[in-house]
A and B are shown apart, each in its own frame.
Chain A
Amino acid sequence: MNSATFEKGMVFFLPILTLLVSSLLLIILATVFTKGMPALHSGFLIEASEDFGRAGGIFYQLMGTLILMTGAVLISLPVALGSVIYQTQYLKSETGKEICRQSAQVLNATPTILFGLVGYLFFGVYLETGVSWVTGSLILAVMILPTLQVSIREAIEALPDQYKDTGMALGLSPWSQIKKIIIPQCYYGIITGVFLGLARAAGETAAIMFAATTFSGIRLPESFSDPVPTLQTHMLVLTQEAANPEALSQAWGAGLVLLSLVFFLTVIAWVLRSRLKMEAEL
């Protein structure tokens, strides 16, 4: 085969492959949708699960997932915001910045199951929060820290230099600059980070399956030491009963809800991010 035919072949073949890869998303969506639809009945989202998850709805599981991810972001946001502000506004030493950058990379690269194990040991055993939604939120908070940091840092670094120069020329102290310029101007970056963090926390299973969750029994947590059922671990348990068609059907239903939740949060983050870009271009 000479090179011209090869080239023609490739130019013909590559679009098909690209289309195929792009349609992977559609394939996954369509599969989850068709498999999950039979489980969805009118009360699926507002009913409790019955018969060890094989029937009924997923209300408490959904609530559990929402509680864990909200808790995670509430804990993670101040730490992420504070650390990025410190690194960008106060920290002058290059070595210090490099250490922070490497640490963020470490957190981002760490396999999530290790967060679950070490987090359970540290929070659950040493700080005595036990197997509870608090432990789960703390673990997820550490896990999503780099996600939040990246978004906030991007927003702060995209601020035009004039803003800072003007602030300094007006004699503002660093704290006033942060309060009056940086936080109001980087608002969208912070919210984008929040939604990306929520999406990441919602999709995570390995980190919370030992430390925060229960399969049946407990419903809404009544104290700080109660575990919660979550969509992710609910699916995990049902998936392992793959021989049972009812259990599998419920797992697909839960999967459909989880996937919709994650995509919804991601798309909101995109909308906010594009708004951020537009503001930066003004």
Chain B
Amino acid sequence: MENDSHGMMWVFAGLNLIFLCCAGGLFFFLIFESYPIFKLHGFDFWLGQDWWVGETYGALPMLYGSTLVTALACLLVLPVSLAVAIFTSEFLTSTSRRCVKAVLELLAGVPGIVYGLLGVSFLSLWIKDVFGLLDGNTLATAGCLLAIMILPTVLTLSEDAMRAVPAEYRDNALGLGLSKWQTATAVVLPQALPGIMGAVLLGISRAMGETIAVMLVVGSLDRIPDPWFNIFSSAQTIPSKLGREAAESIGEGTHWSALMALGLTLFIIVLLINFIGNRFLKRRSIS
């Protein structure tokens, strides 16, 4: 009996090791596979502006595209999610609150490809018509689509953060004669700020890694827009580049290594943002 128990422990430990290897192996493989391109180009890989397969590989346009699209999504999503989070957490009854949360959870589960289809059929056409562009596949289109995609994540986490502010704070504020609105904005909101920061950072890390939907509407052009703030031009993000080109050279050659280096870059950025975001969320729950 006792031996049996001991044997099972090793089975569970082995399964846990498999899980740890999945996470560690991912990182190891990305570094290992992208090593040749860093040997070839060094850190210029991140600064180069040209990407000609077989000649030169520069990641700057993709890095820039990813950053701009994410920033745009973030700018669009922040005011909306803040407003809705305040209302849901402070004004709604618990039944309606639960309904909103359920809707958000379903929204978060909508497959990226469905968003992509919606983007291609509606959003990109609208943007083309409204701004009188030749091509509706732009950074702005991708940014708007991403904003809709990360809205449920950011919103539900922000709402949790506001909900987690102790009830005594509210009671005290209301007892002092503050209105419900003043309580929400002057008492609850500042307390929930770290949590909301965390929510936004987690949303950003999701937006950075989204592939399919962005790939379909961003236009896939490997250049930095001219002028640099022109969000109505086609560009490329890191995941969309990977999605477009990985099939051409899978597993071998410098091209593959360059793509893996892009992947490594994305991985590190996303993990960093995610780590900081989780730190913020955790700080709330401890205090």
Contact = CB atoms under 8 A, between A and B. Distances in A.
Contacts of A14: 83-84, 86-87, 91
A113 B100 contact: no
A200 to B, nearest CB: 8
Interface in B16-59: 16, 18-20, 22-27, 29-30, 33
Contacts of A239: 113, 116-117, 120, 216
Interface string A165-193: 00000000111101000000000000000
Given A18-B84, A21-B80, A79-B15, A210 B109 contact: no
A133 interface: no
A103 interface: yes
A153 B162 CA distance: 25
Contact of A109 (B5, B247, B271): B271
Interface in B214-254: 216, 239, 242-243, 246-247, 250-251
Contacts of A21: 80, 84, 151, 155
Given A22-B103, A118-B26, A255-B113, A7 B274 contact: no
A232 interface: yes
A251 B113 CA distance: 10
B110 A90 contact: no
B263 interface: yes
B16 A100 contact: yes
Q: How large is the interface on B (under 10, 10 to 19, 20 to 34, 35 or more residues)?
A: 35 or more
A99 B16 CA distance: 11
Interface string A83-114: 10111011100000001100111110111111
A59 interface: no
A240 B240 CA distance: 14
B105 interface: yes
Contacts of B12: 82-83, 85-86, 89-90
A110 B243 contact: no
A90 B112 CA distance: 38
B270 A110 contact: yes
A78 B209 contact: no
B114 A32 contact: yes
B9 interface: yes
Contacts of A117: 242, 246, 250, 259-260, 263
Most buried by A among B4, B26, B91, B105: B26
A194 interface: no
Interface string A228-244: 00001001100110100
Contacts, number: 235
B121 interface: yes
Contacts of A7: 179, 181-182
Contacts of A134: none
Q: Which 6 A-B pairs have the closest CB atoms?
A: A111-B209, A82-B15, A203-B111, A86-B12, A103-B23, A206-B211
Interface of B: 1-2, 4-5, 8-9, 11-16, 18-20, 22-27, 29-30, 33, 80, 83-84, 86-88, 91-92, 99-100, 102-103, 105-107, 109-114, 116-118, 120-122, 148, 151, 155, 179, 181-182, 205, 208-212, 216, 239, 242-243, 246-247, 250-251, 259-260, 263, 266-267, 270-271, 274-275, 278
23 contacts: A15-B91, A18-B87, A31-B122, A35-B121, A81-B15, A83-B15, A90-B9, A103-B23, A106-B27, A110-B270, A111-B209, A111-B266, A117-B246, A118-B33, A199-B109, A203-B112, A210-B247, A239-B113, A242-B120, A251-B117, A252-B117, A255-B113, A262-B111
Given A25-B107, A35-B121, A113-B242, 6 more contacts: A28-B114, A28-B118, A109-B274, A111-B270, A122-B25, A242-B120
Interface of A: 7, 10-11, 13-15, 17-18, 21-22, 24-25, 28, 31-32, 35, 78-83, 85-87, 89-91, 99-100, 103-107, 109-118, 120-122, 124-125, 142, 145, 149, 173-176, 178, 199-200, 202-206, 209-210, 232, 235-236, 239-240, 242, 248, 251-252, 255, 258-259, 262-263, 266, 270
